[in-house]
C-alpha cells in the first residue's frame, strides 16, 4: 500500500511539473506553430503566383475565380493602372490598400483582421496577396471574437505587434528570414476595451446579441437518444461478459438484442436523417424567401430609379434612405453595388463604417454569368446567406447589383428541429419499448421449448420418461420429433444391448463356474477311483486318509466358489452415510497383519476421527480386498513391504484426479513394492471375472469399484516395475 501511495504521489508530481512546463512554454509552442504555418502559407503564395502569372499575361481574368476556390486561406487582389480588377474573397475588409515595395512581406492591419501581405508585379498587373492571421474587429461581440484564423493555431490571448520585443515574446520571420511581427502576451501591452456595437439591423442583428447558453431541447432529445443507446449497449456488454462470448450467449438473448438493435438503429437513422432534413428544408425556405424578397426589392427599386443610368457616390445618401425604408417593409437588410462591384448603398451603413462588411461584392455573382443566385458569405467565422439579383432601371439596363443578406440563426434551426422531433419522438420511444417487450415475449415463447428440450436432455436417464411434448408443426416441432424418435430408438437399442450383455455375462460366468468346479471335481474323481482300486489291500487305510484330506480341501474350494458367486450375484446396494474411514481402515490393516505376518504392513495416518461419505458396512471390504491383492502380489517376493496412508487430498492432486473442487477429499493410498501390473491388462483390472491368478473368480476389485462408485468416490491406481499404488478418494465431511 505504501509503494502504491508513493507511485501515485510521483505521478501527480510529474503531472504538475508537466503542466507548469507547458504553461511556461505555451507562447514558445504557439509561436513555433504559427511560424511553421506561416511558412507553409507563404510557399502556397509562391505556387499561386506561379499559376497567376500566365493567366494575367494572357489577360484571362475570367479564369482567376477557380484559383480563389483552390486557395481559400489566401486572399489576393489584382490591380491595373485604372484600379482594382479582381478580388478572390470579400470577407476580409481591406480598405485603402497602399502599394509598398514589391516582393517584400509586410504586416498589415485591416478593418477586421491582421495579416501578412505582399505585392508582386505580374506583367501589366499588380497582385496583392494577403495571409490573414487573426481577426481584429473594431467592436466587441461574443459571436465575433478576435481569434486566430485557421489554419493558424495559437492562444487567442496573444497579441500581434509589429515591433520586435526580446523578452517574453516570440518573433515571427518571413520565408526569407526577415522579421515580420511578434506574439506578445496580453499583460505586456494592455488594450483598451472595445465598444459594443448594436446596429439596428434585421439580418445582422443576431451577431451582436448575446447567444443563449445552456441545454436546449434539441440537445436534450439527442441526450435521450444517446442514453437509450448507451443503456442497450451496456446491457449487451454486461451480458456478453457474463456469457464469456457471443457463442455462449442464450439464443433468446441474442434474438432480443438483435430485434432491439435493429429497431434502435432504425430509430437513430430516422432521428438524424429527420433532423438533417429539417435543417435542409429550413435553409431552403430561407433561400427561397430571400430570393423572393430580392425580386420584390428589385421591382420597387426599378420604379424608384427608373431614369437613372448609373449609380455613384452622388446618390448614395438618397439611396440609403430608400433602402432603409424598404428594409423596414421587407424586414431584411439591403446592400446595393454599382456595376464595378463597389458598395454604393446600404440600409445599415454603420456596418460598412465599422469594417464588418466589405466595400466590394462577393466574387461569385460578380465574376460569373449567373448573378441571380444564393451565396454563403461570412463575417469573421459566422456564415450567412445572401441573395443576389441585378439592379435594373426602367429601360432594363443593368446599373448595379442588389444583395439581400440573411443570417440563419442556429437557435431558429434548433427550434424547427425541436418542433419536428417533438412530434415523432414520443411515438418512436413508445414503439422502441413496445418492440423490446414483443421481442422478449416472442423469444421466450420460441425458446421455451428449446430450454425444455435442453433440460430434458440434461436430466436424461434410461428407463424414465425422456420424451418432449410439443404440438406445433414448425421447424422446432420437426427437431423435437426427431429427438423423440431418437429417444425411442435408443431405448430399444439399450434394451437389446442390456439383454445381450446379460446373456453374455451369464455365459461367461457359467463357463468360469464350470471351469472352477471341474478343477475341483477332477482330483476328487481321481481320488475316489484310486480308493476303489486298492479296496481290501493293505494300502487302503493309508491312501484313505490322504484322499480324505484332499476331498475336504476340494469341498472347501467348492464352498468358496459358491459363496463368491453368491456375493457377486447379490451385489448389495450401496448406502453411503457418515462413517469414520480412519477407524475402518486401521481395523482392516490390523486384521490383514494377522492373516499374513511374514509381510509387513505399515500404516501412516490417524487411527480414528476422519469422517467421510461412504457405506459403513461395505467400506471395510474395499480396504481388505486391496490389501489382500497386495499380499498376493508380494507372495514369494523378497523384501516385501506394504504402506497404507490416510490424509487429506492436496489441491494439485484434486486437479490431477479431476475431483470436484466444491468438496474436500480424503485420500487412502495402499502401496506395495511388487512387480507391478502389466501394461496390456491395466484396462481390465476392474472388470468382473478377470484375474491373473490360478485361483479365484476375479470379482474382488469389481466389487470394490462398485462400492466406491456407489459412495460417490473415486478409485484409481498407479503402477510401474517398482510396485503398485491404489488410491481411494471419499468426500470428507
pLDDT digits (tens, 9 = 90+) for 201-238: 777 777 666 665 555 566 676 777 778 778 878 888 88
Tally of CB atoms within 10 A around 711: 27
Is pLDDT at 19 greater than 80 in this prediction? no
- Judge whether 663 and 714 are in contact, CB under 8 Å: no
pLDDT digits (tens, 9 = 90+) for 98-133: 787 898 999 998 988 999 999 999 988 999 999 999
Q: Supply 253's cell numbers.
A: 438473448
Is pLDDT at 22 greater than 50 in this prediction? no
Q: Distance between CA 396 and CA 47 in Å, rounded?
A: 43
Q: Distance between CA 415 and CA 408 in Å, rounded?
A: 12
Look at residue 86 in the predicted model and tell me its pLDDT. 94
The answer to whether the peptide bond before residue 733 is cis (omega within 30 degrees of 0) is: no
Look at residue 243 in the predicted model and tell me its pLDDT. 77
Look at residue 214 in the predicted model and tell me its pLDDT. 52
Look at residue 505 in the predicted model and tell me its pLDDT. 61
Is pLDDT at 20 greater than 60 in this prediction? no
Average pLDDT in the 3-17 region?
54
**Could you tell me the pTM of the whole model?**
0.56
465 phi and psi angles, rounded to 5 deg? -80, 105
Q: Distance between CA 432 and CA 224 in Å, rounded?
A: 13
Residue ranges per structural domain of the chain: 30-196, 475-565, 573-731
pLDDT digits (tens, 9 = 90+) for 383-423: 888 999 999 998 899 999 999 998 776 666 666 777 777 67
Look at residue 699 in the predicted model and tell me its pLDDT. 66
- Judge whether 310 and 339 are in contact, CB under 8 Å: yes
Average pLDDT in the 487-512 region?
70
Q: Supply 252's cell numbers.
A: 433468446
- Judge whether 730 and 581 are in contact, CB under 8 Å: yes
472 phi and psi angles, rounded to 5 deg? -75, 160
Q: Distance between CA 218 and CA 94 in Å, rounded?
A: 39
pLDDT digits (tens, 9 = 90+) for 45-100: 999 999 999 999 888 888 899 999 999 999 999 999 888 999 999 999 988 787 87
Look at residue 360 in the predicted model and tell me its pLDDT. 92
Name every residue whose Cβ is closer than 8 Å to that of residue 78 and which is 6 or more positions away in sequence. 52, 56, 61, 64, 84, 85, 86, 87, 125, 126, 127
Measured CA distances, 556 to 277, 377, 517, 586 (Å): 105, 121, 11, 29
Look at residue 653 in the predicted model and tell me its pLDDT. 87
pLDDT digits (tens, 9 = 90+) for 639-692: 888 999 999 998 888 888 888 888 899 999 999 988 888 888 887 787 765 565
Q: Supply 712's cell numbers.
A: 460417490
Outline where DSSP puts E strands in 353-426: 373-379, 382-392, 398-406
In the chain, % of residues over pLDDT 90: 23
Helix, strand, or coil here: 691? coil
Instruction: Please give the CATH number for the structural domain made up of 573-731.
Output: 3.30.565.10
Is pLDDT at 194 greater than 60 in this prediction? no
Look at residue 9 in the predicted model and tell me its pLDDT. 58
Average pLDDT in the 370-381 region?
84
Higher pLDDT, 539 or 684: 684
Look at residue 383 in the predicted model and tell me its pLDDT. 83
Look at residue 34 in the predicted model and tell me its pLDDT. 94
Q: Distance between CA 586 and CA 377 in Å, rounded?
A: 103
Look at residue 519 in the predicted model and tell me its pLDDT. 64
Look at residue 17 in the predicted model and tell me its pLDDT. 45
Q: What secondary structure letter does DSSP report for 212?
A: P
Average pLDDT in the 271-287 region?
80
**Type and span of the H or E element at 325:** helix 316-330
pLDDT digits (tens, 9 = 90+) for 285-340: 888 888 899 999 999 999 989 888 888 767 777 888 899 999 889 888 999 999 99
Look at residue 14 in the predicted model and tell me its pLDDT. 60
Amino acid at each position: 500500500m505504501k509503494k502504491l501511495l508513493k507511485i501515485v504521489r510521483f505521478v501527480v508530481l510529474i503531472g504538475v511539473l508537466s503542466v507548469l512546463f507547458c504553461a511556461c512554454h505555451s507562447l514558445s509552442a504557439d509561436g513555433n506553430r504559427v511560424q511553421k504555418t506561416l511558412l507553409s502559407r507563404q510557399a502556397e503564395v509562391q505556387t499561386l503566383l506561379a499559376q497567376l502569372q500566365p493567366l494575367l499575361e494572357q489577360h484571362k481574368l475570367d479564369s482567376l475565380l477557380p484559383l480563389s476556390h483552390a486557395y481559400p486561406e489566401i486572399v489576393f487582389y489584382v490591380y491595373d493602372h485604372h484600379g482594382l480588377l479582381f478580388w478572390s474573397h470579400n470577407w476580409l475588409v481591406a480598405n485603402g490598400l497602399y502599394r509598398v515595395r514589391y516582393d517584400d512581406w509586410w504586416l498589415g492591419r485591416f478593418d477586421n483582421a491582421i495579416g501578412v501581405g505582399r505585392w508582386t508585379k505580374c506583367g501589366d498587373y499588380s497582385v496583392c496577396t494577403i495571409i490573414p492571421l487573426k481577426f481584429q474587429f473594431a467592436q466587441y461581440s461574443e459571436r465575433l471574437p478576435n481569434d486566430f484564423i485557421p489554419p493558424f493555431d495559437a492562444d487567442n490571448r496573444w497579441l500581434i505587434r509589429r515591433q520586435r520585443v526580446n523578452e517574453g515574446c516570440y518573433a515571427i520571420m518571413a520565408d526569407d528570414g526577415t522579421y515580420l511581427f511578434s506574439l506578445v502576451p496580453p499583460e505586456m501591452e494592455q488594450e483598451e476595451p472595445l465598444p459594443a456595437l448594436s446596429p439596428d439591423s434585421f439580418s445582422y442583428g443576431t451577431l451582436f446579441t448575446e447567444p443563449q447558453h445552456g441545454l436546449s431541447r434539441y440537445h436534450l432529445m439527442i441526450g435521450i437518444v444517446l442514453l437509450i443507446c448507451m443503456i442497450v449497449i451496456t446491457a449487451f456488454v454486461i451480458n456478453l461478459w457474463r456469457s464469456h462470448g457471443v457463442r455462449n450467449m442464450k439464443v433468446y438473448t441474442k434474438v432480443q438484442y438483435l430485434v432491439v438493435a435493429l429497431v434502435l438503429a432504425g430509430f437513430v437513422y430516422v432521428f438524424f436523417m429527420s433532423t438533417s432534413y429539417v435543417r435542409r428544408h429550413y435553409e431552403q425556405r430561407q433561400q427561397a424567401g430571400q430570393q423572393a424578397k430580392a425580386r420584390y426589392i428589385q421591382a420597387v427599386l426599378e420604379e424608384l430609379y427608373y431614369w437613372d443610368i448609373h449609380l455613384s457616390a452622388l446618390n448614395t445618401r438618397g439611396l440609403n434612405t430608400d433602402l432603409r425604408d424598404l428594409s423596414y417593409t421587407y424586414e431584411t437588410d439591403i446592400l446595393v453595388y454599382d456595376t464595378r462591384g463597389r458598395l454604393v448603398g446600404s440600409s445599415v451603413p454603420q456596418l460598412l463604417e465599422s469594417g464588418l462588411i466589405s466595400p466590394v461584392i462577393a466574387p461569385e455573382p460578380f465574376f460569373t454569368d449567373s448573378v441571380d443566385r444564393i451565396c454563403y458569405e461570412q463575417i469573421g467565422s459566422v456564415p450567412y446567406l445572401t441573395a443576389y439579383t441585378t439592379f435594373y432601371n426602367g429601360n432594363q439596363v443593368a446599373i448595379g447589383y442588389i444583395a439581400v443578406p440573411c443570417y440563419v440563426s442556429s437557435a431558429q434551426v434548433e427550434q424547427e428541429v425541436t418542433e419536428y422531433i417533438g412530434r415523432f419522438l414520443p411515438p418512436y420511444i413508445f414503439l422502441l419499448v413496445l418492440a423490446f417487450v414483443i421481442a422478449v415475449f416472442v423469444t421466450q415463447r420460441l425458446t421455451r421449448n428449446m430450454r425444455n428440450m435442453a433440460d430434458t436432455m440434461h436430466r436424461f436417464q434410461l428407463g424414465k420418461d425422456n420424451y418432449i411434448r410439443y404440438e406445433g408443426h414448425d421447424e422446432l416441432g420437426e427437431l423435437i420429433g426427431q429427438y423423440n424418435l431418437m429417444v425411442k430408438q435408443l431405448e430399444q437399442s439399450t434394451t437389446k444391448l442390456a439383454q445381450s450383455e446379460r446373456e453374455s455375462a451369464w455365459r461367461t460366468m457359467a463357463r468360469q463356474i464350470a471351469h472352477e468346479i471341474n478343477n475341483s471335481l477332477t482330483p476328487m474323481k481321481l481320488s475316489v477311483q484310486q480308493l476303489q482300486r486298492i479296496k481290501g489291500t493293505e494300502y487302503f487305510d493309508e491312501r484313505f486318509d490322504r484322499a480324505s484330506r484332499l476331498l475336504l480341501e476340494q469341498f472347501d474350494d467348492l464352498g468358496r466358489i459358491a459363496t463368491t458367486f453368491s456375493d457377486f450375484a447379490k451385489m448389495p446396494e450401496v448406502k453411503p452415510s457418515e462413517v469414520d474411514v480412519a477407524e475402518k481402515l486401521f481395523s482392516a490393516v490390523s486384521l490383514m497383519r494377522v492373516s499374513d505376518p511374514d509381510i509387513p504392513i505399515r500404516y501412516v495416518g490417524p487411527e480414528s476421527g476422519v469422517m467421510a461419505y461412504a457405506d459403513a458396512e461395505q467400506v471395510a471390504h474395499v480396504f481388505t480386498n486391496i490389501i489382500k491383492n497386495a499380499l498376493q502380489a508380494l507372495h514369494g517376493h523378497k523384501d516385501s513391504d506394504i504402506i497404507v496412508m490416510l490424509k487429506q487430498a492436496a489441491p494439485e492432486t484434486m486437479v490431477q484426479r479431476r475431483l470436484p473442487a466444491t468438496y474436500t477429499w480424503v485420500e487412502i493410498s495402499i502401496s506395495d513394492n511388487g512387480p507391478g501390473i502389466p501394461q496390456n491388462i491395466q484396462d481390465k483390472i476392474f472388470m468382473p471375472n478377470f484375474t491373473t491368478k490360478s485361483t479365484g473368480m476375479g470379482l474382488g476389485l469389481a466389487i470394490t469399484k462398485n462400492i466406491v462408485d456407489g459412495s460417490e468416490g473415486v478409485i484409481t491406481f498407479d503402477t510401474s516395475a517398482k510396485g503398485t499404488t491404489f488410491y481411494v478418494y471419499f468426500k470428507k465431511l
